[in-house]
C-alpha cells in the first residue's frame, strides 16, 4: 500500500469516507475513480462489526487496508476497505466507481454496454471488478490485486443517509461525488 493510502485508511472511518471520494481503485488492473462509499463501524447497529468480532466479520477488525468481502442477501458480493486502528471494526463499503481502466473487460463481466451501469451499486461494482469471497482478507498494496491512488482533481463531496439498511438509518454516513452520474440511486435520499 502506498504511504498516502495507508495514512488515509488509518483514521476514523467517518472522517476518512469523504476523503476517499476521488481516489482511484483498481483490482488486477481494472477499475476507476471512487464516487460513492458508506461508512460502518463497531458502535453502529447497521454494521456487521456491531457486537464484536465473529466468523464472517473478523476481517473488519484487522489492519487498515484489509479488504472485507461479504455476500449481500445471498446474491451479490460487496467490497469494503477496512479503516482505522486494528481491532476497531470499521470499514468503507465501496458503492460505486466511475469506470476508467479496463472498461471493455468490465463490459464483458457485466454483460452490459452502458458505462454508467457498470459499477453503479455494490453488486455491479464487484461483478465488474471480478471481486468474490476469495478476496476477503486481501490487502490494498503495491504487490497485490487491490491498488489505490490519490485523486488528481478536487471533488464536490456530499453526505447523505445510507441506503438499504434498517438500523441507524439517519446517520449521514454515505458520501458521494455530487457531480458524478456514476453514483448509485437514489442520489440524495
User: Residue 45's pLDDT is what?
Assistant: 57
Give the mean pLDDT of the chain: 86
User: Residue 156's pLDDT is what?
Assistant: 92
Residue (of 172, 167, 175) closest to 51 by Cα position:
167
Of residues 154 and 30, which shows the higher confidence score?
A: 30
Task: Assign domain 3-177 to a CATH class.
Answer: alpha beta
pLDDT tens for 92-119 read: 999 999 999 999 999 999 999 999 999 9
Is the pLDDT at 174 greater than 90? The verdict is no
List C-alpha distances in Å: 132 to 52, 79, 136, 175, 187.
24, 9, 8, 24, 26
Residue (of 73, 81, 113) closest to 1 by Cα position:
81
User: Residue 179's pLDDT is what?
Assistant: 92
pLDDT tens for 35-94 read: 999 988 877 755 555 565 677 777 778 888 989 998 887 789 999 999 988 878 889 999
Is the pLDDT at 165 greater than 80? The verdict is no
pTM: 0.91
Residues 109, 110, 113, 119: is their CA dihedral positive or negative? negative
Average pLDDT (161-184) is 79
Average pLDDT (151-179) is 80
Average pLDDT (163-182) is 79
User: Residue 186's pLDDT is what?
Assistant: 63
Q: Which residues contact residue 11 at a Cβ distance below 8 angstroms, ignoring those fewer than 6 apart?
A: 83, 84
Domain parsing of the chain, residue ranges: 3-177
Is the pLDDT at 153 greater than 70? The verdict is yes
User: Residue 41's pLDDT is what?
Assistant: 84
Is the pLDDT at 180 greater than 80? The verdict is yes
User: Residue 47's pLDDT is what?
Assistant: 59
List C-alpha distances in Å: 35 to 3, 20, 91.
22, 9, 16
User: Residue 56's pLDDT is what?
Assistant: 76
Amino acid at each position: 500500500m502506498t504511504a498516502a493510502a495507508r495514512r488515509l485508511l488509518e483514521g476514523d472511518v467517518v472522517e476518512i469516507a469523504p476523503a476517499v471520494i476521488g481516489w482511484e481503485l483498481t483490482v488486477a488492473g481494472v477499475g476507476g475513480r471512487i464516487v460513492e462509499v458508506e461508512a460502518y463501524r463497531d458502535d453502529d447497529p447497521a454494521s456487521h462489526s456491531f457486537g464484536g468480532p465473529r466468523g464472517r466479520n473478523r476481517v473488519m477488525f484487522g489492519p487498515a487496508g484489509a479488504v472485507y468481502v461479504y455476500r449481500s442477501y445471498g446474491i451479490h458480493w460487496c467490497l469494503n476497505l477496512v479503516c482505522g486502528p486494528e481491532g476497531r471494526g470499521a470499514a468503507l463499503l465501496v458503492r460505486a466507481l466511475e469506470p476508467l481502466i479496463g472498461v471493455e473487460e468490465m463490459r464483458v463481466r457485466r454483460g452490459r454496454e452502458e458505462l454508467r451501469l457498470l459499477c453503479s451499486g455494490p453488486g455491479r461494482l464487484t461483478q465488474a471488478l471480478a471481486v468474490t469471497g476469495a478476496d476477503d482478507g486481501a490487502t490494498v498494496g503495491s504487490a497485490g490485486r487491490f491498488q489505490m491512488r490519490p485523486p488528481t482533481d478536487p471533488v464536490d463531496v456530499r453526505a447523505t443517509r445510507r441506503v438499504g439498511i434498517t438500523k441507524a438509518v439517519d446517520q449521514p454516513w454515505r458520501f458521494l461525488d455530487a457531480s458524478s452520474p456514476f453514483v448509485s440511486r437514489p442520489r440524495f435520499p
